[in-house]
Amino acid sequence: MKLLAAGSNSHQQLNGSDDDVRSFEVFTPESESESGPGNLDIGLLYASWSTTTILNATQLINLGHRPWSTKSPPTTRSPFGDHNGLVGYLDNEGRIWCLHAEPRNPSARRPPLTLLNDDPDAPKIGYFALANNGKVALSFEQAPNGRLAHVVEFASLDAFKRWYLDPSDPAKAPEAHHMLPGQPVQLLANAATFLLLMAGGEVYSWGDPRYRTLGRSIVGEEAAPANKPGLINALGGMKVSKIAYGGWLCAALCDQALYIWGATLPSKDNEIKVLTELGPDELELVDVPSVGVESVDFIDVSVGDNHIAAVTANGRLFVIGDNTYGQLGIGEQVFSDDWVEVPWVESALRVQCGPQSTFVWVNAD
C-alpha cells in the first residue's frame, strides 16, 4: 500500500517545501524512526489545519507545526484536536489520553501523552467528538448487548475535563444528556453540529441548524428541535455503514450509495449548487460518470472543511468542492462545483480528509 496526499502545506505538514501540493504525491514523511523507507504502512491518525499526525508500527509522529515524535500507543480511537493539531484520543479501554500542554502556551502540545484521569473508576468513554465551536459530545461505553446509548454534551473541552476528573460533583455535570435506542458505532463533530451513527444504520444529528447541516427539519410538532438528537428520516430504512463530517458538509455511505448534504463554507464565494437546492429533509444522492453500463458503487468517503472525497469499488477517486490549497489534487482550478475524477489515481482503497487536504491509500502493485 502507498499513501498519497494533496492539499495545504502551510506548515510543511505534507512535505518540506513551501508550496501547497496540488496533485497527489506519495507521502513520505522523514522520521527519526529506525524503519527505513521500505516500511510504509502508515496510518493517518489526525490531519489538522497545520499538522499531520501519523501512526506506524513503532512511532506516533507529528509533522508540520511544532513537529514531535514518540513511541506509538497500543490502541487509539476517536482522535480529536483543533487547528493547532492533535489534542488527544481514546484507547480501547475507554480512557482519554491527552498531549502535554505547555502551561504558558496551551496551543503548543507535545508528548508525552498522559492519561487525563488514571483512576480505574473514571467513566469509560465509547466515542468522543470535539466540534470547532468548542462543544464536546461523547457516548459512554456500552455492554455488547446494551440497547440504550447515553450521549452527553459539554460546552467546552475544559468543562468536559472538570467533569471527567470528578464526575460525582453535580456542579460539573454535562450540559445535556440524551438517551437513544441503539449502539453507537461513529460519533463525529464538524463546525458546530454532531452526527451519530448507530449499529442498526440509523443516523442522528443535532447542533447548529444554519446551512442545512442537520439534514432534517427542526420545525413542526414531529421534529426534534435543533439542539436535541433527531433522526435523519431521509436515511430511514437504509443501512448506513459510514458517516463523514467536516465544515458544514456531511456524507453518508449506505449499501454502496453515497448521500451528501449541508453547505460549503458560507465565508467563500463558491458553492456546490445542488446542495443549496435541498429542502430541510432532503439529501443529495451522488451520481458520477461511470465506465460502462453499471452504476458506480462507493466504498469510502471523507469530508474536509470545504471538500468531499470518495472512493469507488473499482478504485477510482472522485472529489468535489474547494481546491484553493490543492486539496482536490486536480491542479490549478480553485473550485469544482461538480464531482470530478482525480486523474492518475488508481486502485484506491481508502480516503481520509484533513480540513484542507486529502489522503488516499492505494494498492502499490
DSSP letters for 183-240:
-EEEEEE-SSEEEEEETTS-EEEEE--GGGTT-S--SSTTSPPTTS-EE-GGGTTS-E
* Binder of another protein out of 107, 233, 241, 270 (CB under 8 A): 107
For another protein, give the closer residue by CB, 190 or 312.
190
Q: How many residues bind another protein (CB under 8 A)?
A: 37
Q: Is 205 in the site for another protein (CB under 8 A)?
A: no
Neighbours of 294 (CB within 10 A): 9
CA distance 223 to 230: 7
CA distances from 17 to 6, 49, 104 (A): 13, 17, 30
We find the least distance from the C-beta atom of residue 11 to another protein, in angstroms, to be 6
Taking the complex as a whole, the smallest distance from the CB of residue 9 to another protein amounts, in Å, to: 10
Q: Does 161 bind another protein (CB under 8 A)?
A: no
> Does 307 interact with another protein (rule: CB under 8 A)?
no
Question: Which one of the spans 72-80, 165-173, 203-211, 296-304 is the region binding another protein (CB under 8 A)?
Answer: 203-211
In this structure, the chain runs to a length of 365
| C-alpha–C-alpha distance, residues 278 and 286, integer Å | 13
Is 264 an interacting residue with respect to another protein (CB under 8 A)? no
Q: Quick one: which of 42, 125, 188, 226 contacts another protein (CB under 8 A)?
A: 226
Is 58 a binding residue for another protein by CB under 8 A? The answer is no
Q: Considering only residues 3, 11, 188, 318, which one is a binding residue for another protein as defined by CB under 8 A?
A: 11
Q: Does 218 bind another protein (CB under 8 A)?
A: yes
DSSP labels, 87-120: EEEE-TTS-EEEEEEETTEEEEEEEEEEES---T
Among 3, 5, 6, 50, the residue binding another protein under the rule CB under 8 A is 50
57, 148, 165, 219: which one binds another protein (CB under 8 A): 219
3 state SS of 262: strand
Question: Binding residue for another protein (CB under 8 A) from 25, 30, 35, 83?
Answer: 83
Tell me if 325 contacts another protein by CB under 8 A.
yes
75, 145, 168, 267: which one binds another protein (CB under 8 A): 267
Binding residue for another protein, selected from 35, 39, 92, 105, defined by CB under 8 A: 105
Q: Is the previous residue joined to 112 through a cis bond, with omega within 30 degrees of 0? A: yes
Distance CA 361, CA 75 (A): 21
Tell me: does residue 66 bind another protein (CB under 8 A). yes
| Alpha-carbon span 205 to 226, nearest angstrom | 8
Stretch (H or E) spanning 62: strand 59-64
Among 208, 229, 244, 310, binds another protein (CB under 8 A): 208
**Smaller CB separation from another protein, 229 or 247:** 247
Q: Are 340 and 289 in contact (CB under 8 A)?
A: no
Segment near another protein (CB under 8 A); pick from 68-76, 162-170, 265-273, 329-337: 265-273
Give which of 138, 162, 159 is closest to 150, Cα–Cα.
Answer: 138
Minimum distance from CB of 199 to another protein (Å)? 30
Residue 187 binds to another protein (criterion: CB under 8 A): no
Residues with Cβ within 8 Å of 100's Cβ and at least 6 positions away in sequence, in order, are 109, 110, 111, 112, 113, 114
DSSP label at residue 72? P
Q: Which positions touch another protein (CB under 8 A)?
A: 8, 10-11, 49-51, 65-66, 82-85, 105-108, 132-133, 191-192, 208-211, 217-219, 226, 247, 265-268, 280, 305, 324-325
